[in-house]
Structure 1
Amino acid sequence: MVWLFFQKEDLARMKKLIKYLIVFSLLASMFGFVHEKEAGASTGPFAHPGLLHTQADFDRMEQMVDAGTRPYLDGYNQLAGSALSSSNWTPRATDTIIRGGTGDNVALLFIDVARAYQNALLWKITGNTANGDTARNILNAWSSTLTTISGNADRYLASGLYGYQMANAAEIMRDYPGFNLTDMQDMLLNVFYKPLNERFLIGNEFGDDHNDAYIQNYWANWDLANMAATVAIGIFCDRRDIYDIGIEYFKHGAGNGSIYNAIPFLHPGGLAQWQESGRDQPHTMLGIGLMAVINEMAWNQGDDLYGWADNRFLRAAEYVAKYNNGDDNVPFATYEWGSGTNGAVQTQTAISSAGRNEMRPVWEMIYNHYANRRGLPVPNMAARAQLMRPEGGPNSNTNHGSAFDQPGYGTLLYTRPSGSGGTAALPGGNIPGGTYRFIVRHTGKAMDAAGTTSGSSVQQWTSGGGGDQQWTVTHLGGGQYSIKNAQSGLNLDIASGSLNHGAKFQLWNSTGGDNQKFAFIPVGDGYHRITPVHSNKPADVDGISAADGALIQQWRFVNGNNQQWRLEPVSVNVRLQSYNFPDRFVRHYNYRARLDAGVTPAQDAQFKMVAGLADPSGVSFESVNFPGRYLRVRSNGEVWFDSNDSTAAFANEATFRRVAGLADARQSSYQTWTDTAKYLRHSNYLLYAQSGSGATFEADATFAETAP
């Protein structure tokens, strides 16, 4: 074709054209698909290729370039004309890469990764085997040579940025003749992921998280780079456990890369403030680009993170695009964070103009998702993408790492027809809907409504169990919840929608505002922070007071016990999902408690979790379709659903202490009421109450409480 830089073999062209026509027909039939607003996260095998690009994406690019369709052709010419796309390259793999400090040689890695990715793209789009061979040879050289990434703290930037980019290049080449898939998987897991990505995010045997610093010390882009690598490596290596770590961190992580910490404040006009906006604009756009990468990879695996938290990322991207397009009319709320190793408070009071309007190639991916996949208005992103179109890639004329932060070439890679839709779904919420008491950790007292009219204060008070201390939680989608006081029916609300420290929690009529929406962020040991989504400042007992009547306010998260709340169920419908057999749920079968997959009827695996029959601080589980029957431990340790005979003995046998999961503190384990050494656990898929230890026992005794 006269449009291409490379002449293709006729046979290869014919095969690819046939493949395109088949895929195009399938895509055309899907354009009317309705985007789901609520569903569970994907759980099946990973789709390959399935990181930043799917096979359908490659088929679209190839067809559009062959046809000379713009702007695809313009984007293709940017890629093909890059010096980094040359197939005439010898890999420079070395056993040790250093970023930061003496001996810094990281340019060897990021230049080779960019070359591998760009050659892989050209092979995939054109069929030119010279490019394919070059990409394969670069990747094989590094996977068989690299053993260590070191340096100062910047080594975690290297592990994140080049880890996700390496995985993306390798994903394109995974079926290419001579590509060593096993060596690449081993290298990504043992050089990038385990000692660096995982250690930085959550800590492991290589050391504490965040390089031993205070949790808020590192800017959002540090987390996001390592989150991107975690998600990419999880997919490439077919390790759903690793992928899930990245997805969970995105939703609820403690560091600044998780969505509420990276986007702390919601502003009027559909805008949201980015965590690094008061620092400078290049780092802000780096973070925006990295969050988009995570969202795109998750989307291609069926999980809609773009839409998580009510399209929070859209609002942040619009904010950043608007300011960098030259519009000064963007709000800024004072931002505080803890730094160093002891959390010394730092403050930013104004948006930074440093590096404003830098041309980072991150916008096409985001614009095309929201505008063309979802059909949503994004005027500031549209203007930003148009300004940069056709989007280029890394700058081969510099060895500075920032020029290689993003793979780029979005005009070619992400331009999509309007109305292209998609099949990804929002993951489910992390708290089943129902009625709870909220118990603050530092005093054991309950969140309490001081009155029954709009404007009534919310306070802590000695737990009494009345309607003034009961709160009905309803999932609104995307991990956000409304909370209503059971006695008054009024919503939990932040006074005047304030973003300020010390703004009071109160009762108010329902308005649907962001100041009446909350996220439940796990903090460990079965506790959560109850976070207003507009401010990301959790429910806090004023002055760390122990007194009855101390008011509840919002305050910057400092991980204090006065900001941590235990959710005690009053009446919550749940399913109990096995930790180590996630396709199986606790159900009754002829009244025996057991684990099964594909439970029919579904109500056999649904229970009303209520205040304990023996003590309201415990929990009991009542069958939904056989009311009056409860999960009960018999004298031989077997667990059945038996009818409540209203005796004290039955109440004790049907009551459990709900504690942090033995295998995963974000989930739950259940001690028997009269013997705290015994836990509910499954053995050969049957439920027992037993004591034990070790990883297998802990996994058998851990369950997730999920919505029916």
Structure 2
Amino acid sequence: MNKKAWTIAIVFSLMAGLLGGIGAEKATAAPAFNHPGLLHTQADFDRMTQMVNAGTQPYLDGWNELVNSPYSQSGWTPRATATIIRGGTGQNYALLYNDIARAYQNALRWKISGSAAHGDTARDILNAWSSTLTTITGNADRYLASGLYGYQMANAAEIMRDYPGFDVAGMQDLLLNVFYKPLSERFLIGNEFGGDHNGAYIQNYWANWDLANMAATVAIGIFCDRRDIYDIGIEYFKHGAGNGSIYNAIPFLHPGGLAQWQESGRDQGHTLLGIGLMATIAEMAWNQGDDLYGWANNRFLRAAEYAAKYNNGDDVPFAAYEWGNGTNGAVQTQTVISDASRGQMRPIWEMIYNHYANRRGLPVPNISACAGLGRPEGGPNSSHASTFDQLGFGTLLYTRPAGSGGTAALPGGNIPDGIYRFTVRLDGKAMEAAGASNGADVRKSTYTGGANQQWTVTHLGGGQYSIRNVQSGLYLDVASGSLAHGASFQLWSGNGGDNQRFAFIPTGEGYFRITPVHSNKPADVTGVSTAEGVPIQQWRYILGSHQQWRLEPVSVAVRLQSHNFADRYIRHSNYRARIDSAVSPAGDAQFKLVPGLTDANGVSFESVNFPGRFLRVRANGEVWLDPNDGTEAFKNDATFRRAAGLADPRKYSYQMWSDAARYLRHSNYLLYAQAGSGATFNGDATFQEVSP
């Protein structure tokens, strides 16, 4: 998503959440977070305590690593200071990361053994920093500080949140107003403190910069009980514009269950840092019930296997990687994997191994070998600042019995199943199939309503989709599964290949990248041409309008979820349209999105359980489910423009076709078409299209 769109989305989302609706409406409480629920749950601590007390291996070896760490000793006097500088003149950030390591390790010793001396030490360190630190500054490296130390500070604080004398409110204030708002949020999506990514081109910063701040965002959201902040981190993981989101961090899928990491051509130290940070995000989300480990068909597992295999000394495939850097996106290229820092050991593998092998029961031979080499995992040491990038002690903290499973679930997809036409932002022309047999070209031409210009979209799970041409039933496919620029989009029989799986990545204002998951190179109009019949190819995303597509429903069944009352959906009740929760019968909240009755470029909402009745705006602005009488007046009143959401451009707002100033919105839970502005109105007029 572009910078401005992300900024608008988040500002309006936060304001709407704070202000709520109007009249009798009251904001719906977000689901409560599990506490403790960052990297460790209470069940984890109970397991550690039991195993350590019983002398069970490898827990006991992991415990001894912790006990023997110089940073886990009680009685430390904190060195809190008002200003932390990372990068440039006067650097003093070692004060912060040393004290966080001490707070975290002492917190672990208290939680596992019950030692009050260690609990008091952890509490006093955290309280000292929350009452003293006011600023994190320096050059661009300050964003590394906000991310790395933000997620670590939140994890130490989460362990201590119920400890006597711990200042929870003070720590929440520190994390929100020193780490998150001016730094992590600004870096990822931009806000009132400035543009995202420090004003650079979106691909300029390596994946680990995003990932550190994504980890901080997820951790701070949980610790501060801020669902809106947590959701920003989760959404960025799935669809973010920068290099830390999952498809950008893991751009290429290779044979043999391997996937190339974004920094693999740079060096292995930063590659492993990024792998560890993505695992950290996935582990925290798992403990809140969201399975990011499995998102995108276990894409992260394949990347971790790739990095582990290469750092174990084996060869791996490498595809040429391009990115844009600086402020203008000057193209840079890496053609070989880097052996710099190859074989470096970081305490990241136990978390990953125990999830995939023991929670999920999946084969991970290369990850298993890496974990075995580093067992028992220790923690930071004074040899180099980079050893403080991870909290460590994975053998103690993450070892779990085989078959331990879990209750986290994959988040849903972002596009409802159904039939769509795809129109390119460049000139509004539609993607079409040039034939109906294997190998038929895919191109773009003026939309005529033909079945060769309509596509059946089906969610396969984890945010990946198949796309089939309605005319032929054949699948959208990248020729030969090529990773190269310029590989053709074509039709082919279904084979389940990664070159026939796609993700829809929001780019803002209602447009998406249609991205083949094997290459992360979206559907691209060859030569940026506006001519008829121009072929569609794959190409590195360069923010071009020729790579952004609008998904316009031809026949799509959806529920319309309120943006600011997330448990409520548009439904009809005695034919009056309103928003309600727990709708029964379920069909009352299900609508078929069809081409607009008055203009096929718009959309109309036909009831699923009362076919022939449509959401229609009456003369007084009320919205009812009325039967189509075939008149032009009815068609106008029941046709809407499907626009980017006023409160969140990843969602939708619906303008009346005949009066663009009026939007569908809820007021006192009833649906109207009204004109308005401001955060409350924008939230009331924004909806998410979700599958029934």
The TM tier, using the shorter chain, reads: over 0.9
Output the CA distance in 1 between the equivalents of 2:113 and 2:585. 52
The superposition leaves residues 40-84 of structure 1 with CA deviations (integer Å, 9 ceiling, x where unpaired) of xx9620000000000000000000000000000000000000000
Q: CA deviation at 1:494?
A: 0.1
Q: Which residue of 2 aligns with 1:701?
A: 685
**Structure 2 residue 573 is the aligned partner of structure 1 residue 586:** no
Q: Which residue of 2 aligns with 1:598?
A: 582
For residue 522 of structure 2, what is the amino acid of its counterpart?
A: P
For residue 391 of structure 1, what is the amino acid of its counterpart?
A: E
The superposition leaves residues 537-560 of structure 1 with CA deviations (integer Å, 9 ceiling, x where unpaired) of 000000000010100000000010
**Structure 2 residue 63 is the aligned partner of structure 1 residue 79:** no
Q: Which residue of 1 aligns with 2:12?
A: none
5+ unaligned residues in a row in structure 2: which ranges?
1-28
**In structure 2, which of residues 385, 397, 407 is the aligned counterpart of residue 423 of structure 1?**
407
Aligned-residue Cα RMSD (Å) equals 0.7
TM-score (norm 1): 0.93
1:107-256 equivalent positions in 2, closer than 5 A: 107-256=94-243
Q: Which residue of 1 aligns with 2:635?
A: 651
Residue 431 of structure 2: SS of its match in structure 1?
A: strand
Output the CA distance in 1 between the equivalents of 2:520 and 2:30. 30
The superposition leaves residues 291-347 of structure 1 with CA deviations (integer Å, 9 ceiling, x where unpaired) of 00000000000000000000000000000000000112x100000000000000000
Residue 534 of structure 1: SS of its match in structure 2?
A: coil
Q: Which residue of 1 aligns with 2:348?
A: 362
**In structure 1, which of residues 35, 51, 60 is the aligned counterpart of residue 38 of structure 2?**
51
Output the CA distance in 2 between the equivalents of 1:401 and 1:204. 30
**Structure 2 residue 292 is the aligned partner of structure 1 residue 308:** no
Q: Which residue of 1 aligns with 2:455?
A: 471
Output the CA distance in 2 between the equivalents of 1:403 and 1:665. 40
Q: Which residue of 2 aligns with 1:68?
A: 55
Output the CA distance in 2 between the equivalents of 1:352 and 1:392. 26
Output the CA distance in 2 between the equivalents of 1:160 and 1:132. 25
1:407-422 equivalent positions in 2, closer than 5 A: 407-422=391-406
For residue 347 of structure 2, what is the amino acid of its counterpart?
A: P
Output the CA distance in 1 between the equivalents of 2:405 and 2:259. 25
Output the CA distance in 2 between the equivalents of 1:153 and 1:569. 43
The superposition leaves residues 490-513 of structure 1 with CA deviations (integer Å, 9 ceiling, x where unpaired) of 000000000000000000000100
Q: CA deviation at 1:465?
A: 1.3
Q: Which residue of 2 aligns with 1:8?
A: none
Q: CA deviation at 1:403?
A: 1.3
Output the CA distance in 1 between the equivalents of 2:101 and 2:608. 56
Q: Which residue of 1 aligns with 2:612?
A: 628
**Structure 2 residue 329 is the aligned partner of structure 1 residue 331:** no
Aligned residues: 664
Residue 587 of structure 1: SS of its match in structure 2?
A: strand
Larger RCO of the pair (alpha carbons < 8 Å, separation 6+) = 2
Residue 577 of structure 1: SS of its match in structure 2?
A: strand
For residue 211 of structure 1, what is the amino acid of its counterpart?
A: N
Q: CA deviation at 1:587?
A: 0.3
Q: Which residue of 1 aligns with 2:76?
A: 89
Q: Which residue of 2 aligns with 1:37?
A: none
Q: CA deviation at 1:146?
A: 0.3
Output the CA distance in 1 between the equivalents of 2:160 and 2:314. 42
**In structure 2, which of residues 318, 324, 330 is the aligned counterpart of residue 344 of structure 1?**
330
**Structure 2 residue 277 is the aligned partner of structure 1 residue 290:** yes
**Structure 2 residue 434 is the aligned partner of structure 1 residue 450:** yes
Output the CA distance in 2 between the equivalents of 1:43 and 1:346. 43
Q: Which residue of 1 aligns with 2:519?
A: 535
1:612-691 equivalent positions in 2, closer than 5 A: 612-691=596-675
Residue 677 of structure 1: SS of its match in structure 2?
A: strand
For residue 280 of structure 1, what is the amino acid of its counterpart?
A: D
Query: Which stretch shows the higher mean deviation, 197-206 or 42-51?
Result: 42-51
The superposition leaves residues 66-108 of structure 1 with CA deviations (integer Å, 9 ceiling, x where unpaired) of 0000000000000000000010210000000000110000000
The superposition leaves residues 660-701 of structure 1 with CA deviations (integer Å, 9 ceiling, x where unpaired) of 000100000000010000000000000000001111111100
**Structure 2 residue 495 is the aligned partner of structure 1 residue 511:** yes
**In structure 2, which of residues 356, 362, 365 is the aligned counterpart of residue 376 of structure 1?**
362
Runs of 4+ in 1 over 3 A off after TM superposition: none
1:430-449 equivalent positions in 2, closer than 5 A: 430-449=414-433
Q: Which residue of 1 aligns with 2:13?
A: none
Q: Which residue of 2 aligns with 1:390?
A: 376
The superposition leaves residues 474-503 of structure 1 with CA deviations (integer Å, 9 ceiling, x where unpaired) of 000000000000011000000000000000
TM-score (norm 2): 0.96
Residue 659 of structure 2: SS of its match in structure 1?
A: coil
Output the CA distance in 2 between the equivalents of 1:378 and 1:575. 39
